[in-house]
Structure 1
């Protein structure tokens, strides 16, 4: 597996929310779905809670956006991992990088706390632009998405309504009230079960 630090792009990490933030996630989801026609409230929500995602998506061909996905693609090409795990904004960068480089092949993509499905603020700004629904990157054999029950960024649910080619869409309890980085997702049983089949050494 291979990882990368979003800090290298001078973007602050997004934290995950625990079970006590379920009402906040439900409100955020209601806003995202109810006002999806104009998207003004979802843009406001994103700018308040995950400003770095808004910054990344502001311009389709911004040099920083291109550089971010090219850095991720170069890292995957250099290390040739079987599995890539991406969290929050990292899921957006990884999605775009893998689409931009269909020659990159993965056995498994795991997305954690992903805002990829958020209408207008994220989903409709992706590259390539979704044609009704988003598609699995061509070189990815299996895609597993994991979202904490109370994560207000990983909306709307279900994720598969926007990305039907996802093989497994899991809801997980990361903690009671856990404002923690991606390490809490990485320690979850859902992620452990998803990656376990790929940890054994490959026999020729």
Structure 2
């Protein structure tokens, strides 16, 4: 099949775009408001975008608490969402006001960060402490602006030492959760290796 992506006339029950660009890693973003209230939310539009410097991005429709807090305080943390905490990750996606602490809502314990103020999710296999860099408005050719992309530079990395083996991170052992389309998710628990051609 082919369909015009601008008119989105695909004839299917749901937009297939997210199901095609998959799996997408989940950035479980923790921030802290200027008033000191913690915030935690999962973003499936998330990824690493550079390794020198180490940079990540997350994006969503509408200016949510995570974006506002990152912009106002200049800091956020990306917590690795894993199989063991999938239910809490899902609970933290609830639409609630900025006065609600999603750590409490999701029954999660916290750990202090080293270089930034937002808390980390205790039990997550890895955390990326980030300094906010900028927000990019994602505007379509016809001038519509729905999504914003938040960019941050990674200034500190925490890795649970249980997942470091032979001098390398055992990603499959961490069982990271990723987003597919619709309400579907996947877990990485198996991998294969291929060497690039010279």
TM-score per shorter chain, which class?
under 0.3
TM-score, reference length from structure 2: 0.26
Higher RCO structure (Cα 8 Å, ≥6 apart):
1
Structure number having the greater strand percentage: 2
Structure number having the greater helix percentage: 1
Larger Rg: 2
